[in-house]
Amino acid sequence: MGATHDRYEPVIGLEVHVQLSTASKIFCGCATRYGAPPNTQVCPICLGYPGALPTLNAGAVELAARAALALGCDVHPRSVFARKHYFYPDLPKGYQISQYDRPLATGGALVIRLDDGSAKSIGITRVHLEEDAGKSTHGPDGTRVDFNRCGLPLIEIVSEPDLASPREAYLYLSALKRTLEYLEVSDCNMEEGSLRCDANVSLRRRGESRMGTKTEVKNVNSFRYVEAALAFEIGRQAEILERGQAVVHETLLWDSGRGEARAMRSKELSHDYRYFPEPDLEPLDLDPAWLEGIRGELPESPAARAARFEAAYSLPEYDAGVLTTTRPLADWFEAAVAAFDDPKEVSNWVMGEVLRIANERGEPVALSPEPRPISPAALAELLALKAAGTISGSAAKEVLAVIVETRRGAGEIVRERGLEQVSDEDALGAEIDAVIAAHPDEVAAFRGGKQGLIGFFVGQVMKRTGGQANPQLVNRLLREKLVG
């Protein structure tokens, strides 16, 4: 494999299907709720009854335009819906309404950040609108078909073959998902099928521009499997080429259970979809002023927001990347910084305790519908107590956990639990004098140069105060008294 990989390089392009977050389907009024009982969200239009006419959902068009503009595409003033014909039990009409030679948008790019920190621009070939098909479930008692998915609004986002490794494909998919979530065009929930991915893979000899024969790997529908599926297919093609044979242009289905991609049966394939313009829908004409309005309202992209976090809050690149992973998390962080003006301290707490608690509770950090796992104001109150020296860092963690459980204020919890640090210099001075008087040998050793003994003295003072002394203050007072 190593030698093979030296000789060949992978060329990968991804086709990503994204379900748009509309309440109703793209060509009828049926609901799009996930998890509804099978065949309860259907009507004559999405079931393909003869004579039923589709009506385009304007909300789906707006979400698709938002995504295409954010990906830097040219959104065309006119695009055309087309029928894509194929036979499958989950496609009652016998064709899927899609867009073919006149798609909604073409020619964009998405910049991804590689592991070495460098940026790479991945071309976007096209973004087009289409409807989803139904879902077949194969069980021991036969195959069942659920048409609830029929007519769900999708965009297909096709990348240029700019991805040079499975890892790059993973990074592209992650960046695309984050971008679409920021735009609020889709929930991108892969488990629920809101984001699905097919990959085109070929190998070419290093240094040559001629492309090899490509295969299509379908059903790469989990972030966990993207890299595995692509690595499998790259290895398979490399072995074929090494044997001096030719890669066959075919479609393979990734089987995550077996960890392999196998060729689809020929009857599952159709190389001729007999596309023609959809006669029941007008061409989609978009008003340029309407499009510019959408462009003007695009939210800040994740990359732009991370860059702003670095600059405006003087945060390390790492922090800015973590804090902008999701738009709700970034919003939460900014609300917390507005309430407590020490961005690095807030960042440390969000990346540490707040995210840890959120993960444990299985509820992502967010501001709405209610702040989770705690409110930014509650964290600000806690950090103010710590900054004032009223409580120690470890006490603050303890209090944070109680705030999450009880939704009570930090001050109240600190008072109730007696967690205030002793920061009274006179009171601490008396305790320190007592410690010094009780350990004359250690005092002599310290003064003789054993500076490491400072930890011993701090420990003794903490013990006498039941752990409530302010350790920074104890340290300073001890040094003054031991040296002086």
Residues 34-73 within binding reach of Zn ion (CB under 5 A)? 43, 45-46
Report the nearest approach of Zn ion to the CB of residue 52 (Å).
9
Q: Which CB atom, from 91 or from 403, has the smaller least distance to Zn ion?
A: 91
- Min. distance of Cβ 331 from Zn ion in angstroms? 35
Question: Under rule CB under 5 A, how many of the chain's residues touch Zn ion?
Answer: 5
* 157: helix, strand or coil: strand
Least CB distance to Zn ion at residue 165 (A) = 42
Q: Among 22-30, 317-325, 340-348, 358-366, which window interacts with Zn ion (CB under 5 A)? A: 22-30
For Zn ion, give the closer residue by CB, 53 or 444: 53
8 Å CB contact between 27 and 150: no
Helix ranges (DSSP H) in 24-165 = 58-70
Q: How far is the CB of 146 from Zn ion (least distance, A)?
A: 13
Residue type for position 332: W
Residue with tokens 């867009």: 99
CB 206 → Zn ion: shortest distance, Å? Answer: 51
Smallest separation, CB 69 to Zn ion (Å): 28
Nearer to Zn ion, 46 or 435 (CB): 46
Could you tell me which stretch among 28-36, 286-294, 370-378, 397-405 binds Zn ion (CB under 5 A)?
28-36
Q: Which listed residue (28, 67, 220, 382) binds Zn ion by CB under 5 A?
A: 28
Q: Which of residues 262-281 bind Zn ion (CB under 5 A)?
A: none
| Phi, psi values for residue 9, rounded to 5° | -125, 140
30 vs 169, beta carbon nearer Zn ion: 30
Residues numbered 88-127 forming contacts with Zn ion, rule: CB under 5 A: none
CB-wise, 48 or 371, nearer to Zn ion? Answer: 48
Binding mask 125-154 for Zn ion (x = CB under 5 A): ------------------------------
Long-range contacts of 233-240 (CB under 8 A, 24+ apart): 233/199, 233/201, 233/261, 234/10, 234/166, 234/201, 234/203, 235/1, 235/4, 236/261, 237/8, 237/201, 237/202, 237/203, 237/212, 238/1, 238/4, 238/5, 238/8, 238/203, 239/4
Distance of closest approach, residue 56 Cβ to Zn ion, in angstroms: 13
Q: How near is the Cβ of 137 to Zn ion at its closest, in Å?
A: 20
Measure the CA–CA gap between 8 and 253, rounded to whole angstroms. Answer: 23
Q: Half-sphere exposure of 79 toward its Cβ, with a 13 Å CA cutoff?
A: 25
The residue (of 28 and 354) whose beta carbon lies closer to Zn ion is 28
Helix, strand, coil fractions of the chain, as percent rounded to 5 = 45, 20, 35
- Residue 281 C-beta: closest distance to Zn ion, Å: 15
Which is nearer to Zn ion, 33 or 417 (by Cβ)?
A: 33
In the complex with Zn ion, which residue's Cβ is closer, 90 or 342? 90
> Per rule CB under 5 A, is residue 384 in the interface with Zn ion?
no
The residue among 27 and 340 lying less far from Zn ion, judged by its C-beta, is 27
Q: Give the CA distances from residue 31 to residues 43, 131, 153, 374, 454, in Å, rounded to whole numbers and listed in that order.
A: 10, 14, 11, 33, 69
Task: State the DSSP H helix or E strand holding residue 92, giving kind and residue range, or none if neither.
Answer: none
Largest CA distance in the chain: 100
Name residues whose C-beta falls within 8 Å of residue 144's C-beta, 6 or more positions apart in sequence.
38, 136, 137
Torsion of CA 251, 254, 260, 262, to 10 degrees: -30
Contact residues: Zn ion, CB under 5 A: 28, 30, 43, 45-46
